[in-house]
Amino acid sequence: MKEGKDFEDLDERELNDLGNAYSAHGMWEEAIDAYLRSLAKRKSGGDTRGQGIVLNNLGAVYYRQGRAQEALECYEASREMAQELGEELSELVALMNLVFLHFSEGRLDGFRRRADEAESLALAMERWEPMSKLKWLRGRLALSEGERYEEGLSYYGEALHYAARDGDSELAQMLNRIDRQAEHLLSQGARGMALVFYDYLQVFARDQGFSTGVLSRLSEKRDEILRRPSLP
């Protein structure tokens, strides 16, 4: 924000930046006000692309406030604007926001529909980070549904594959997600399943030519589970 500017004099970009700053500090109502002001200016100026950016930001704040339906409407509108402009990357961002919203809200039909759309677009664009996250979410869902263990393991393997294609940072994050999934299985008394989880991924990683560092990490985590006392 330029020094000496009154709030009312800020332009649409500055208002969006202000909304981001408020959001980073958990000042939700202030962030919403700034985003809405930015959105109004962008509408009056016919800036469709800018509206899509602000709507994604506004949707994120609504969701943090527990206002899932309003967040959903923002993300859907952002996605429609991106489609209208033919901006695939912006569309993918909005789709991924919709995927996570539906997943976290337990709206499984919506999750599967949007995940299919996001996966198709991410593959066409060769965007491996969203592909990794989509496979991870599918794996989490499959493992939570009781009889879909084999499918869930396969999804986690694919998540690891795409994470590796994206780079070391995404790979490290995915390995952390794998560890959290194993801990979740252990917390539910599924120690055997947690061991099978690491067994499967070790074989998968070896067949895919992963580094010795990844293989060692998976092996060490499996051994750590074995050393733990079984729950009574």
Query: Does 5 score more than 60 pLDDT?
Result: no
Same structural domain for residues 87 and 138? Answer: no
**The predicted structure's pLDDT at residue 4:** 45
Same structural domain for residues 204 and 113? Answer: no
Task: Indicate the pTM of the whole model.
Answer: 0.90
Choosing from 97, 126, 155, the residue where a domain stops is 126
Same structural domain for residues 122 and 193? Answer: no
Cβ atoms of residues 179 and 222 within 8 Å: no
Same structural domain for residues 16 and 81? Answer: yes
Contacts with 210 (C-beta within 8 Å, 6 or more apart), sequence order: 160, 164
Instruction: Look at residues 14, 63, 12, 18 and name the one whose alpha carbon lies nearest to residue 39.
Output: 12
**The predicted structure's pLDDT at residue 3:** 45
Cβ atoms of residues 101 and 72 within 8 Å: yes
Query: Does 69 score more than 50 pLDDT?
Result: yes
Residue 4: inside a domain: no
Residue 1: inside a domain: no
Same structural domain for residues 149 and 98? Answer: no
Q: Domain residues for 169?
A: 128-232
**The predicted structure's pLDDT at residue 8:** 72
Mean pLDDT score, 46-74: 96
Same structural domain for residues 144 and 191? Answer: yes
Same structural domain for residues 116 and 25? Answer: yes
Query: Does 27 score more than 80 pLDDT?
Result: yes
Same structural domain for residues 42 and 134? Answer: no
Query: Does 229 score more than 90 pLDDT?
Result: no
Q: What's the pLDDT tens digit per position in 97-152? A: 999 999 999 999 999 999 999 999 999 999 999 999 999 999 999 999 877 899 99
